[in-house]
Amino acid sequence: MDSKCKNILQTLLSTSIQWDCPLSAHTSFGIGGPVEALVKVMNVDELMQVMEFVSEHKISWRVIGRGTNILVNDKGFNGLALVLAGDFKDYSFDEYGETTDVKVGAGAALSRLSSLCIERGLAGIEFAMGIPGTVGGAVLMNAGAWGGAIADILQGVELVSAGNIREYTREEVQFGYRSFNVAGDTQFIVTSAVFRLSKADPQRLRQISMEYQHKRKKSQPPGRGCAGSIFKNPEGASAGRLIEECGLKGEKIGDAEVSTQHANFIVNKGQATAEDVLQLMEKIQEEVHRKHGVLLEPEVHVW
């Protein structure tokens, strides 16, 4: 962007833009070069103005959320990294007999939402306890664990694109394994979602949540220094098991290592680069394909 574009963009926002901001400090992997502009938007009006601006000026953009499940190129990203803050972290609860609709902003932490609902005795989202990332990212990925998924509880979603804001019902969206789609639009941002939950005993929900967290801590590395599952599970199989059967636990390229706890995680041991991770991912894909005839599909998003 030239200086004129930069000045115009800043006038659309109530917070200061961080220019040439290193994304390694904003991702769970701790990897990534600078983004041209790290932009924090506080409400839907600001977001719509920014989306119109980037559309008009043909500027690339991504939503960074909490920086999980992404791998940023070592050279960085030439465009905008959008952070949903302010109003995008709000919650509201509407009771309907034995069910409650929870409307939550896309910038809210998914694990925090799960914890809050458990304390209120609302069942259906306890599977998300311990899953990093935001509600918006969870919707786009149809995040799930322990037999539950976002698709099971979603009632509606609000999407913003350039010059347009629209609410969709559950019947109007298409969920797949780690995927979300709406007809006729590909350049949109999830701004809020409504989840329908049922009343339950908070103590029982806390017990279930603790069991899930114990299993997660026992089988998976801590969140910092990794980006969650690297590959999607092939139909009828476990990516982690296929990788482990290839003897790749502990395999390293540079400072990137296949986790010794869970083979479908790659860990930054300190100074790993994006290129280290990408080369290790390619090696895993080659070995799994050679041994099992399965081509693993990345779950992590590469910028």
Instruction: Please list the active-site residues.
Output: 178, 229, 299
What is the C-alpha separation between 254 and 138, in angstroms, rounded?
Answer: 31
CB contact set of 68 (below 8 Å; sequence gap of 6+): 27, 28, 132, 133, 137, 223, 227, 228
- Distance from chain centroid for Cα 285: 22
Could you give the angle at which helices 44-57 and 3-11 cross, rounded to 10 degrees? 160
Torsion sign, CA atoms 32, 36, 42, 43? negative
Give strand ranges (E) for 130-184.
144-145, 148-149, 154-161, 164-169, 173-176, 179-182
* CA angle (101, 41, 181) in 5-degree steps: 55
